[in-house]
Structure 1
Amino acid sequence: MLTDVPEPEAKTEISSPADIDLLIEKAKVEERQRILDEQRKQRQQAEVFAVLKKQQAPKALPIQFDDASIAGNIDGKIYQACSQTLKVPGKFRVEKQQILIEPETTHQEVEPALYQAVEKKIELAPEQRVIEKVIPAQYKTVTEEVVLSPARERWVSVPAEFEVKEVRIKIKDGYEEWQPCYRTSPGARLVDGDYKCMVKVPDEYQTIQQKKLVKAKSVVLETIPAETKTVTRTVLVKPEEVVYKTIPAKYKTVTMQQQITQPKTMQVTQAAKYETVETRIETAPSQMAERKTICKADRSEELVKRIQIVLEKAGYLKPSPPNDLDVIDGLWGPNTAATLNRYQRDNGLAEGAITFEVLNQMGIMK
């Protein structure tokens, strides 16, 4: 059957978490639609095969199935079985064993010495001479005029005076060139694999300064007046006086520990330590065996949902982003298939397909 080939989608820039969530939802919808289309094709093929088989069979006799072709009864519906060679996991038994971690050891311990309480008077602070008060010194302020430098004359050079004007001149003519731009920009063209636009580069100008002499340099005689300064000095009238006082020593009676017996050394034996470990021993190796399985044409959405419900309640089936976010969806995806394999392996059942024995184990098949 011919189908229309969709055009390649334009690349989309992912710039925010919202875009990422949108892509995840889109992938989930596409995966769900793919699985639904696959199931619809399988149902259509099964219907065609059923019609062909009905047309080829004798009209007087209904279609009969022997016991070997029947997988089981699920809610009153009889499913036709398909035979498949699957891997049956091996069987193990668990044995517990005591393992020595630390052997018995002998070491020496010291019995501490005995002490008794004894009162003793100790000096907390010695007698000391401290300042009681300080009588500050007395000063007076004296103001006088001091000549720093006498009056004098000197020749002073007066610099020339100029007038500065700013003049704007052109240093480079404008031109046009192709520069990279977006394909949606006005005038965009595809040049050498990239979108470019014709951009006009304006003329370049530079502002320079021009100096014009207004007054020539000259020399004049200048009189510099004398420099004086009023100085205020502080003169000591009476020096500082310090008054001292004596603080007596401080004592405290404390209780101290006095040793009355010597420490003793003794031999101590520490018992050995053991740990219980579990060892898995294989009692039967894994092997390949024939098993009855549900045919792909009978893998209905309702049957897949019931399997998913059992796997979720048992703690096996969990969401697998970005495709399988809703675990109970009736779709036979990679997450559901891998989870069923793990369930079969943990329960010692053949893994790799929907077998009648795993349906019996789950309580789905009667």
Structure 2
Amino acid sequence: MFRTVLSGCVGAVVAGSVVISAATPAIAGGRALACYEQAVIPATYQTVQQQVLVRAATTRVVETPAVYAFQNRRVVVQPERVSYRQIAPVYQTRSRQVQVRPASVGWEYQIRKGRKILCKVQHPAVYQTVHEKVLVKPGGRVAVTQPAIYGTVQERVMVRPASRQKVHVPAVYQTVTRQVKVSDARVIWQPVKVRGCR
């Protein structure tokens, strides 16, 4: 505690304030050595900026549906088949020379210049053309393959399956400006210059 005693304008300063003691009759009318008056110092404020939470962080689930599309697919309308058919034999008529009589040597009578003579005569072979039916290709059963018949159909297929995904939404802050009190208002005693006080 700090105390100051003044004569005339006498006071005591206690804890930041000045307390004036009443003038006693014994010293009334004396010469003032110093004079003081009360002054109010207003409170002081400061402008500050502060981050304020507007919306807290959240987590949400985003569901993506499956994606489908249509595509063409080749299908068998009728499978391959094997059938059999009967074919007739094929014949052809061919000609060939057949020996009817072979070459030979024999004796025979001949009349030459009115005379009958016996001559040794050579006889050539005798041939004859004959026609005959020849089998060129035998008949039978032949396999006939009928190829498969294909067609196109449209079908719905999944391009991408459905999925679920967690999405984090960050918190949202906002900067606000406000006044903050730095010091309270206070009353002080400050010296003054008036006649009679110096």
TM-score (norm. length: structure 1): 0.15
Between structures 1 and 2, the one with greater strand share: 2
Which structure's CA Rg is the greater one? 2
- The higher relative CO (CA closer than 8 Å, separation ≥ 6) is in 2
